[in-house]
Amino acid sequence: MDQLIHAVGLDKKFGPIHAVQKVNLTVPAGEVLGFLGPNGAGKSTTMKLLTGFLEPDAGTIHIGGHSMQDQPTLAKAKIGYLPEGAPAYPDMTPSEYLDFLANVRGMQNPQVAKRRVVEQVHIGSVLHQSMETLSKGFRRRVGLAAALLHDPEVLILDEPTDGLDPNQKHEVRLLIRQLGKTKAVVLSTHILEEVEAVCSRAIIINQGLVVFDGTPAELDGKAPADLKHNRLDHVFRTITTTEIAQPGTIS
Amino acid sequence: MSPCKAIFRREFASYFNTPLAGVFLVIFLLLAGIFTFQMGGFFERGQADLRPFFQFHPWLFLFLVPAIAMRLWAEERRQGTIEVLMTLPIKMRDLVVGKFLAAWAFTITALLFTTPIWWTASYLGDPDHGVILTSYIGSALMAGGYLAIGSCISALTKNQVIAFVLSVVICFIFLLSGFPMVLEFFSGWAPEFIVEAIASLSFLTHFQSLSRGVIDLRDVLYFFAVIATFLYLNGLILDWKKAA
């Protein structure tokens, strides 16, 4: 199967809230998929379903050909996941944290991998500082390093640039674009310019439904031709506030 | 390194990376000392044994062990790190057992710090070392039982206070079921086998028989059965939370 992420008919309810409705999602290697949507639209929930943290009420997920339901450890081994808010153990240092993850994953050359990711996200200066003393931006980068450590085929990043300063944002975007050449990447963001900057495809999700699926250029094309500024903002607002949501099929 | 061992190492180190280990050890040793010497009359009894020390363990552990267990899962949930753990390619069994063993190893470490009492008794007299050894084993097993209950309850909530209070109550029920007062209440009217069944569920009954110096396989199996049952439930609760 050349689709690294293959999810069909994902459905998830939390009590009366229908967080994710019949979402289909396929992402091949070499694609960076931007996940957009208002707060509470179901972006994070969809990512939690894809990574196996939550179980869908209905639907199936395959990661690199392995079923998340039947072969969770094989499927999870292929994923690098940055959860929302980049949680980490406050009492550990980034160095200890990466060692711990390498041990759990049973990695062969943990020190080589560690040096690689430390360089990729520039956390060398804080490697031996306890995580509770780190700034939000550094914590996010440690989370990113943790997701990249085992060089996974699939990257699922929940707001990877949140809390970073403009320089760091730029760097992380470059990194994601580079990683996206060979991996399947799904990232969520509130920043529309980020979609144009790094994504080869964009999905807008609203109230648990996919309401747009296409390239960033197609998204831009939905804006009125004479609109000069904030074109994507305009389209985003139009789609997520007025368009009547239909359960969408994406390929 | 196996995944279970990696989980164990991180969890065990986390006790010593935070003030938790220090605070716990000091309080535990202080209380154990007060119970043994003030209330138990260690010196006044004029006997070289550790009965005054061990007889308070069920009560001491009732509060102190849930305090160790309450953070096991509740803290992961509050910090959000549970999302990291549960998306790692690792079996639920390794995760639950690794964390439990770390907490148990920490509790046993605390117990080892009390061995100067043993040396003292040996210096002052000629205690029955076999009895003391089985008492320590019984104490460690009982702590494991309390810990498994606490770990299971901790998986239910992200609030550590709730986890603590619920664990104390459930451990208390397990402890109480062997108390003479409770058994007498039942023995007046209930058939003998029911009274025995209730008594056999109690931590107290099994701990006391171990602390008399007899290693009865049934007592050891009892504690392992309690630990296995609650850790199994612990895994089920985590699975159920995924689907909820």
Tens digit of each residue's pLDDT, chain B (244 residues): 789 999 999 999 999 988 889 999 999 999 988 888 887 777 777 777 788 888 889 999 999 999 999 999 999 999 999 999 999 999 999 999 999 999 999 999 999 999 998 888 888 888 888 899 999 999 999 999 999 999 999 999 999 999 999 999 999 988 888 777 777 877 778 888 888 777 778 888 889 888 888 888 989 999 999 999 999 999 999 999 988 7
Q: A188: closest CA among A27, A17, A35?
A: A35
- In the block, residue with structure tokens 């144009």: A196
CB atoms B89 and A89 under 8 Å: no
Question: Looking at beta carbons, which residues of chain A come within 8 Å of B6?
Answer: 100, 103-104
Please give the model's pTM, rounded to 2 decimal places. Answer: 0.90
CB atoms B6 and A146 under 8 Å: no
Strands ordered across the beta sheet of A17-28: A17-28, A3-14, A58-63, A66-67
CB-nearest to B91 from A52, A73, A89 is A73
Beta strands at A3-14 and A17-28: parallel, antiparallel or unpaired: antiparallel
pLDDT of residue B153: 96
pLDDT exceeds cutoff 80 at A14: yes
DSSP string spanning chain A?
--EEEEEEEEEEEETTEEEEEEEEEEEETTEEEEEE-STTSSHHHHHHHHTTSS--SEEEEEETTEETTT-HHHHHHTEEEE-TT----TTS-HHHHHHHHHHHTT-S-HHHHHHHHHHHHT-GGGTTS-GGGS-HHHHHHHHHHHHHTT--SEEEEESTTTT--HHHHHHHHHHHHHHTTTSEEEEE-S-HHHHHHH-SEEEEEETTEEEEEE-HHHHHHTS-TT--S-HHHHHHHHHHHTSPP------
Joined together, the tokens standing for residue A58 give 């209905």
Residue A155, φ and ψ in degrees, nearest 5: -115, 130
pLDDT digits 0-9 by tens, A101-152: 999 999 989 999 999 999 999 999 999 999 999 998 899 999 999 999 999 9
Amino acid letter for position A126: V
pLDDT of residue A251: 41
CB-based contact A158:A83 (threshold 8 Å): yes
Question: Looking at beta carbons, which residues of chain A come within 8 Å of B89?
Answer: 72-77, 105
CB atoms A101 and B7 under 8 Å: no
CB-nearest to A53 from B14, B87, B90 is B87
Average pLDDT, chain A: 90
Q: Which band of pLDDT confidence, cut at 50, 70 and 90, is reported for residue A227?
A: confident
How far lies A136's CA from each of A32, A139, A161, A192, B77, in Å?
A: 24, 5, 10, 21, 19
Question: Looking at beta carbons, which residues of chain B come within 8 Å of A85?
Answer: 80
CB atoms B90 and A73 under 8 Å: yes
Q: Which domain holds residue B184?
A: 3-243
CB neighbours of A68 closer than 8 A, spacing ≥ 6? A50, A52, A60, A61, A62, A75, A76
pLDDT exceeds cutoff 80 at A25: yes
CB-based contact A149:A179 (threshold 8 Å): no
CB-based contact B182:B204 (threshold 8 Å): no
DSSP string spanning chain B?
--HHHHHHHHHHHHHHHSTHHHHHHHHHHHHHHIIIIIIS-TTTT---S-HHHHTTHHHHHHHHHHHHHTHHHHHHHHHTHHHHHHTSS--HHHHHHHHHHHHHHHHHHHHHTTHHHHHHHHHHS---HHHHHHHHHHHHHHHHHHHHHHHHHHTT-S-HHHHHHHHHHHHHHHHHTTSHHHHHHHHTTS-HHHHHHHHHT-HHHHHHHHTTT---HHHHHHHHHHHHHHHHHHHHHHHHHHH-
DSSP string spanning B161-193?
HHHHHHHHHHHHHHHHTTSHHHHHHHHTTS-HH
Query: What does the angle CA B198 – CA B203 – CA B209 come to, to the nearest 5 degrees?
Result: 100
Number of domains making up chain B: 1
CB atoms A74 and B89 under 8 Å: yes
CB atoms B6 and A83 under 8 Å: no
* A18 and chain B in contact, CB less than 8 A: no
Q: A26: closest CA among A59, A2, A56?
A: A2
Q: How many CA atoms lie within 13 Å of B65's alpha carbon, on the beta-carbon side?
A: 35
Indicate if ipTM > 0.90: no
CB neighbours of A102 closer than 8 A, spacing ≥ 6? A110, A113, A114, A149, A150
CB-based contact B186:B194 (threshold 8 Å): yes
Q: How many Cβ atoms from other residues are within 10 Å of residue A221's Cβ?
A: 12
pLDDT of residue A249: 46
pLDDT of residue A244: 47
pLDDT exceeds cutoff 80 at A52: yes
Beta strands at A201-206 and A184-188: parallel, antiparallel or unpaired: unpaired
CA–CA separation, B87 and A241 (whole Å)? 34
* A165 and chain B in contact, CB less than 8 A: no
CB atoms A91 and B2 under 8 Å: no
pLDDT digits 0-9 by tens, A137-148: 899 999 999 999
Which of A13, A92, A95, A104 best probes binding to B when mutated, by most B CB atoms within 10 angstroms? A104
pLDDT of residue A242: 59
* A243 and chain B in contact, CB less than 8 A: no
pLDDT digits 0-9 by tens, A184-221: 999 999 888 888 889 999 999 998 899 889 888 888 88
pLDDT of residue B92: 94
pLDDT digits 0-9 by tens, A85-95: 999 999 999 99
- In the block, residue with structure tokens 């094989």: A74
CB atoms B84 and A104 under 8 Å: no
CB atoms A91 and B84 under 8 Å: no
pLDDT of residue B77: 94
Strands ordered across the beta sheet of A31-36: A79-82, A154-158, A184-188, A31-36, A201-206, A209-214
Question: Looking at beta carbons, which residues of chain B come within 8 Å of A100?
Answer: 6, 9-10
